Each structure stands twice: as structure tokens, then as C-alpha cells.
Structure 1
């Protein structure tokens, strides 16, 4: 039986990918609560869906099987007991203060016979106006009377790269940086445990959502069948990288080394893949602002635990050494121009999705970076992103590979 998870590179031909089509959760964004939900603006849902559909169709036209998170999650609720466990766990993590309120919502969600509609509702969140029978009689209810939601929406879900990451034949089910995104990983938990595609495969977990230190998939890059890069960032702790490395080595997935890139804790960088992605065997996009002060640590398996050392060479030389290449090309976001680089990195010019060696999907809006990629011999597939980009993520952020052809 073929393993349903097979990702040993960033650039091997993409065969199967998981997306999430933006839904009603975006219409539950409100100006007063954008910061807590990790948004800077409110996308226009109808246009965002058109852009996302264009992205999905671009993948299909390249022979990629496109699966949707919302379908997989619904299909994982294979019987009433699993459905009830999922809803109970979901409500326990939704910060509902009153048990009576929680009970009413449990009853409301359990009454939904259509699994897909149930999943859509859990993603969209629940407004107080949707449960008119709810009497606000407790102190916590009254004190919170101006807040419109009983359960917050999950507007970041269309960035499917982050809640979990596929690594070899395994999965890193992540502990998210922000409380508002932690419930997102619940879908992955149930998919890998109960979906018919995965439940008999015994997919190894190299990280668990119950860990107490944070890590996100945008910081996890598979550079080769031996080498993984992980960002030390706003969203990923150093301690998490050590845990991840130890688990990967212990489960014998074939990887021999983890390179930890310290990119700093700034929202504009957020994840490693917003400033660095692999586009071909020897070509990488990079945001020039991180190059000068970039510190890289090497982690490998020693006789008594992990062996950790700081790399002191240039990024080019480090990549050449561990990828066994004579030369690598760093393609700088914005062509290296500080103004263009800052603008296009903000609009995810460095965040490419490789669908085959030397072929990527990019936002059409990052004209300078795209020109530099083409000049370097990279084949580009353009997608529109005027609304999708408002969530601060690009094509790699919006995609979770399940299967790539081995190089």
C-alpha cells in the first residue's frame, strides 16, 4: 500500500495537495478585532474565492490532485461517537465560559446531520445572534455582552501550510503561536486518526498539538531527503525545533540534519517561507533583509542525543555543503532593491509554491521578483492575489502537499 504522505523535498513533482477554500469565516472578520485574529485587513470573500478557485484550477491543469481540508475533516467524522468527540473537544477549546452555553451549542451542532455543513460552521464561528434562545444571565455573559461572538471564527484557515506539516512519511501536528489558531490543528488530529485515507496508514507524528512550545508549518521546509530547514521566528520556538529534530531522528524517517534559520521575531517575516523558498535543485528565493544577520544552527543525531553547532559560513556555502552542490543561486525578492523588496515581501513575493523542479506558482502582483525568477530560468504560473494576500500569505502558505514524486 502506497503511503498517503510522501514529501521528501520542496520541489519534487506535486501530485496531491490539500487546500481550504475561504469561507464564511472571512465574513466574520470585524475591524475592532482584526489584530487578535491576525489580520491587517478584511478580504472581500467573493473575490477571494474566485482567486482561490483560480489557484486550485491552475494546480489541476498541472495534473495535481486537489483535496480540501473541509471535505477531509467532514469525511473523518465517520460515526456519531467520533462526531461527538470532535464537537466536545472543539467546544472545550473555544473559550466558552458557561457550561450551560456550551451545552446548548453542543446540542445545536450535534443536530446538524450534514458533516460538511457542520465543519463549515465550526470554521466560521458562532455569533451570539445565531442562538437567540441563549439568555445572558451570568456575570461573564453580561460583562462580555458587547462582544459579538460566542465562538471566534478561524479566518487564517486558508493558509493550510501552518496547522500541520508533512515531513517524509510523517506529520508535524503543530502547536500554533496564537490562541486564535490553535483550534485549527484539531481538524488535522481527526483527519489523520479517522479519515479512511489515513487511519490504516499509521502516519507517524513528529510533533503533537499538545506540546507546550509553538511551531508552525510555514517554518518547516524539506530541502532534500536528508535535510530539513526550520525557521526560528515569531511563530516557532527554539525548543520546538529541538523536539521536532529529536522525534524525526528517533522515528528514522531518513532525514539526517536540521538547519535552524534564526530570522527574528517580526510579523513582517512571520515564517521562514515568507523570506526563503526553494524553487529548483540549486535556486532559492530570499528576502535580502535577512541575509546579512542570518544565523544558522546545524542539528544532527549524536551518540548521546542531539549534536548542535552554529554555522559560520555564508548561506550559499552552507546550502552547497549540505545539498552537495557546486553552486546555488539566491534570487532576491524585489531584485535586491530595498523599497521593492520590502513591498513585494509584504505581498509574499518570496513565498513560491514549487510544483516541479524549476516550476512554481506565484502571485502576479510581484512583478520585479517574478522577472528575476524568469531571468534565472524558473517557469512561472501566475495567479491573482489582491484579496488572498490581505491575510499575509502566498501560494506556499495556502497549500499543504501530501504527495510529491521523489527526486
Structure 2
């Protein structure tokens, strides 16, 4: 695969992105949805239609979209088609600068898709770019808990699906990739705080949106030599971000789990409360591309969860 890996933030023009089509299995009733930790039952025929909405919107924006399920061996595909969470590709890996670091599933239900995708990534990018052994201890790290703020700083949550030990194991790789600071926040352990991107997001080069309770949480700041603490507002301000605190405690994942296609354009769910993206004066001119993906969102994640950027034009 002739793919350039280049991601230094969350907002530059997206050039190449990984996705995965939904499973072949329905989640037929509310009890099954509860048992597999989904929000609602899902009809996979409809889910596939909404997945095509996602793919077409990005392709229409000139983005190269790779569906990794198309590259699996026949044997792997037979298993993959039955993995209901496989379309949440964000968690599998992350491109830090030009280096790709592997994730590790925080729940056993998701481990097969990590193994399958990592073998593909190793084949596509080779061991120099994809550091497949970076977290060999197997500590949980799902990249819905990670934001690349800029060329200096990363923000990571330790919570239900990401361990502090995994961050310690990977920090030197992140620093070697070119970043100078890692901010670690610790969200409450609840289903609605499963990942950092269910509670916050980068909305522009200098605007960060976050649920209002997060202003009370300190951040541990790691460099290659030191560790210190700051409040979240101070940490983000120091790295050039205004923080827009959302005060609507009832807002859903769809409201905040969006994807920046370029500095002027955001891909957002039709179910999202778009007022959140218009409150800050620097966001009023943003172009919002709305797509229907609510059948996919019933799995408990949003558009950002369903996309893994490989290349942004910086």
C-alpha cells in the first residue's frame, strides 16, 4: 500500500482515512443490545446504508477511503463479518506524526479485530512506521481516548478502555515521533465516558469543545524528563486552544463525536445538536457536512469513532 502517514493534529485537510464496513449480524432486540453494551438494536442492512453515507461524503470531499475488510484473507473475513464492533476503527491504532502506534483492546470482545488489522498494517507500512511491538505488554489503549492537539502536544484519557501503564509504555515512542508533551486526564469510569472523544473534540485549530464537568479535572503533563500537573483549561490554553465548555448535560455522542475534513469543514451527524458548533465565534463560519449515520451510532460511537486518519496535509 503506497500510503503516506502524516498526522500532526486533528484539523488539517484529511487525505487518507481507514474505515471498516459493519458486521453481517443484526443486534435484534434491546436485551441483546444491553448485553453487548450497545445503546439500541441495530438492523445491519440499514447500518450498511448509513456506512455508505459516511464513505461517500468523504470521497466526495476528495479523501482516499480504505475499507480494511476488503483486504482480509478469506479465513479472517469469515470471523470479521461477525465482529459487531469492527467499524469503530479509531481505536485500533493512531498516526503520531509519521509513526503508527498500535492500540490494545480494552475488552476481550474487540481483540480479534485488533489482531487482524495490525497484521494488515504491518504488511502495508512495515515495522519502521508501524511499531507493532510498542505495547507488547498488552495493556489496554483505545485511541478514542487520544487527541493530537498540535506538533507539540497529545491529550490522552486513562479510563475504562485505556490504562496508565500503556501510556507509560508508549510515551517514548510518542516523544521520538516528534511530540514534546503528553497530557493525561482521568475521566470518571462510566458508560458515557467510555472514551475521551465521547466528551470532547477538537473543533478548530484553536478551539476545543468539552463537556463542562471536565474543567474540574487536573491533567498530568509528561515530558521526556519531567512530570507536573495543570488544570485542563490551563493546559489547552498554553497549547493555543480556547475551550468551549458545553453546559447541556443531556447532549449525545452524536453532538460531539464529529470529524474535521479540513480547517473549514466538519463532518457531522444529522442527529447532532449543531448549536454546540456555533456557540464559539471562531466556529460560526464552519461548513457542516451532515450525514445520516444514526443506525451506526446505536453501537455507542459516532463519526470520529468510525474513522482512522492516516494522512492529513500539513
TM-score between both structures, scaled by the size of structure 1: 0.71
Distance 1:33 1:208, change over 3 A: farther
Higher mean Cα deviation, 382-391 or 8-17?
382-391
Q: Which residue number in structure 2 is paired with residue 165 of structure 1?
A: 94
- Tell me, in whole angstroms, the C-alpha distance in 2 between the residues paired with 1:213 and 1:246: 16
Q: Does 1:310 align with 2:310?
A: no
Aligned ranges 1:8-407 → 2 under 5 Å: 8-24=8-24, 26-27=25-26, 33-35=32-34, 37-72=36-71, 74=72, 115=73, 117-124=74-81, 153-195=82-124, 198-199=125-126, 202-205=128-131, 208=134, 210-249=136-175, 252-291=176-215, 293-302=216-225, 307-311=226-230, 313=231, 315-321=232-238, 323=239, 325=240, 328-330=242-244, 332=246, 336-338=247-249, 342=250, 344-345=251-252, 347-370=253-276, 372=278, 376-377=283-284, 378-406=286-314
C-alpha spacing 1:18/1:214, structure 2 compared with 1 (3 Å): same
Unpaired segments ≥5 residues, structure 2: none
> 1:337: how far off?
2.9
Contact 1:279 1:359 in 2 (8 A): no
Task: Tell me how far apart the structure 1 counterparts of residues 51 and 98 of structure 2 sit (CA, whole Å).
Answer: 27
Q: Structure 1, unaligned stretches of length 5 or more?
A: 75-114, 125-152
Distance 1:318 1:348, change over 3 A: same
2:137 & 2:196 partners in 1: Cα distance? 21
- Distance in 1, matches of 2:292 and 2:263, equals 22
C-alpha contact (below 8 Å) 1:316/1:330 kept by paired residues: no
CA contact (8 A) 1:18 1:67 kept: yes
Structure showing greater radius of gyration is 1
Decide whether aligned partners of structure 1 residues 156 and 208 sit closer, same or farther in structure 2, where only a CA change above 3 A counts: farther
**Does structure 1 conserve the Cα–Cα contact (< 8 Å) formed by 2:27 and 2:41?**
no
| Match in the other structure for 1:94 | none
Distance 1:155 1:301, change over 3 A: same
* Greater relative contact order, per chain length (Cα 8 Å cut-off, separation 6+): 2
Question: What's the secondary structure of 1:263's corresponding residue?
Answer: coil
Note if contact 1:280-1:359 (Cα within 8 Å) is conserved in structure 2.
Answer: no
In structure 2, distance between residues paired with 1:166 and 1:374: 29
SS in 2 for 1:309: strand
- Per the TM alignment, residue 386 of structure 1 is displaced from its structure 2 partner at its CA by 2.3
Number of residue equivalences? 312
Distance change >3 Å, CA 222–CA 60, structure 1 → 2:
same
1:48, distance to aligned residue in structure 2 (A): 1.3
- Give the drift of 1:400: 0.3
**Structure 1 residue 248 displacement after superposition:** 2.1
> How big is the shift at 1:372?
2.8
TM-score (norm 2): 0.90
**More displaced 10-residue stretch of structure 1: 355-364 or 29-38:** 29-38
RMSD: 2.4
1:92-147 CA-partner distances (Å, limit 9, x unpaired)? xxxxxxxxxxxxxxxxxxxxxxx3x54431113xxxxxxxxxxxxxxxxxxxxxxx
Query: 2 CA distance for matches of 1:210 and 1:31?
Result: 37
Is the 8 Å Cα contact of residues 354 and 360 (structure 1) preserved in structure 2? yes
Structure 1 contact 170–206 (Cα < 8 Å) conserved: no
Aligned partners of 2:135 and 2:170 also within 8 Å: no
